[in-house]
A = this chain, B = another copy of it.
Amino acid sequence: MKEPVNIIRDTDDQARGLARRLVRGARFAAIAVCEPDTGFPFVSRVLTGIDTDGTPVILISALSTHTAALRADPRASLLFGEPGKGDPLAHPRITVRTNAEQVSRDDPAHQRLRSRFIARHPKATLYVDFRDFAFFRMVPVSASLNGGFGKAYALEAADVLIASPAISELAEIEQSAIEHMNTDHAEAADFYARTLGKSSKSGWAIRGIDCAGLDLVHGDALLRIEFDAPIQTAGELRHKLAELMHSNRNN
């Protein structure tokens, strides 16, 4: 093995696609914050969801070190991408630098974050309404993608966010679209999971839809299906979902 050179590769669509799948397909992340007073870097684990524009979302308790830290200094980074078997450093991962913004219960966005988060993490229903728990939108600043040895990329915030004029419009019909799919096209989720997510399990359900893709959930497992490109109008959704039924590409 030759000694590596410090090369940050040019960001291409393949790198952006990998970054998005890592962030949007994660159930949890490691979070780094600065501890109050000392500024000591502190790392812990949080469950993650995403908002309709791709912004990572966390639900954390005021009793935790990271919540106290974020209230004093909103800067945080999130590490997405868990190793499976084999060499841990051969598995891709991404660090997203963020500024945390707490979303209060009277914020119009709260209901949306709450329902999308619970859809991904049904067990969070048990504590989501506790007074000491709060949602934070972790607004991306930049990101460092490591696709495995020697495959480093410096990404911009826009590379991990979802850009589409249809975000709000789709958010309004998200719940009814999910119910329609899981009721009238109950076979679709398993088909997507098998053909696009390489899953051999059955019993998947669609739990989230945004302009860039679908969240499939099966118990504690999450599969993120990315569209080839974000949809530009809510009306495109039906066509996109039908199109995926005739797809057999690998996600």
Contacts and interface: CB of A to CB of B under 8 A. Distances in A.
A34 B34 contact: yes
A220 B86 contact: yes
Interface residues of A, number: 47
A3 B61 CA distance: 11
Interface string A56-85: 000001010100000000011111001101
Contacts of A76: 41
A227 to B, nearest CB: 26
A205 interface: no
Interface centre among A41, A44, A93 (most CB of B within 10 A): A41
Interface in A1-17: 1, 3-4, 6
A246 B57 CA distance: 50
Nearest to A126: B1
Contact of A77 (B40, B47, B63, B82): B40
Contacts of A78: 43
A89 B3 contact: no
Given A43-B79, A77-B41, A88-B45, A65 B30 contact: no
B41 A41 contact: yes
Contact of A44 (B47, B95, B126): B95
Contacts of A93: 44-45
Contacts of A220: 85-87
Given A47-B88, A89-B47, A127-B1, A41 B30 contact: no
A31 to B, nearest CB: 7
B45 A89 contact: yes
Nearest to A5: B63
A27 B79 contact: no
A50 interface: no
6 contacts: A3-B132, A34-B41, A42-B77, A44-B93, A45-B79, A87-B220
